[in-house]
Amino acid sequence: EAASIRAPAAQATPRAQQVEPAHTAPLKPTPVRSTAREQAGDSVHITDKDYLLGYAENGWRIISGPLRFTRQDWLNAAIVIGATGAFLLADEELNSFWQDDMRSSGTDDASDILGLFGEDTTVAVGALGAYALAETLGAEREKTAALLVLQTFLLTAPVVGAVKYSAGRERPNESGSAYNFDGPGERGFDASFPSGHASYAFGAAT
């Protein structure tokens, strides 16, 4: 579920007040989507109480999400888990194909550049920098976007860290195998599953 900034119900737009299924509804309405709020001169800031409370509220919505799953949600989850397992079984073959047949200096350069967008430091500093610039320029929509990226990153990081710590998957380029899972605590937070780069990049993009 994509996180969005918490706003008082009285200031929510009519669209935000519509009842939607729990698995598809946005977590909270974004204040600056309201034209009336913009015309009134209201603004969202990084220190706003509603925004800060959104961390706890949206964090709980994410953790408790399965409690609101419908039968279709569980089916979708099973499909995702099954597909992940299938890709894991084909991991070494896919890795060999990419490294032996597709890899080049050009793909290495592209990977180095694109990899920056998944670095935790890049995402955090980029979001804060974008917020500061938008604050200076008075760009309300961009301020909100930057705050959403920051919140998404800070809510994603503990989940990624917890799974890494629990799975303890060795990095294939270090162990030579895609199937070495050492278990909780053995690899600390440096395990290779899930990918922090992919998690942060997709979180920010969403």
Least-confidence region, from 10-24, 52-66, 154-168, 175-189: 10-24
**Which range among 81-85, 140-144, 171-175, 179-183 shows the weakest confidence by mean pLDDT?**
171-175
pLDDT of residue 4: 52
The residue among 11 and 81 whose pLDDT is bigger is 81
The candidate with the shortest Cα–Cα distance to 53, out of 34, 27, 25, is 27
pLDDT at 36 exceeding the cut of 70: no
Whole-number Cα distances in Å, 142 to 15, 26, 46, 48, 202? 21, 19, 13, 16, 19
pLDDT score of 37: 44
Q: What value does the mean pLDDT take over residues 176-198?
A: 84
pLDDT at 105 (0 to 100): 87
pLDDT digits (tens, 9 = 90+) for 133-143: 999 999 999 99
Average pLDDT over residues 117-133: 90
Which residues is 169 bridged to in the sheet?
181
User: Which residue from 64, 28, 22, 62 is spatially nearest to 48, judged by alpha carbons?
Assistant: 28
Over pLDDT 90: what percentage of the chain? 39
Mean pLDDT of the chain: 80
16-to-20, 37, 49, 69, 121 alpha-carbon distances in Å: 9, 14, 20, 21, 32
CB-CB contact of 204 with 123 (8 Å): yes
More confident residue, 1 or 110: 110
Q: Which of the pair, 19 or 173, is modelled with greater confidence?
A: 173
In this prediction, residues 137-161 reach a mean pLDDT of 93
Give me the pLDDT at residue 42, please: 64
Instruction: Write down the pLDDT at residue 12.
Output: 45
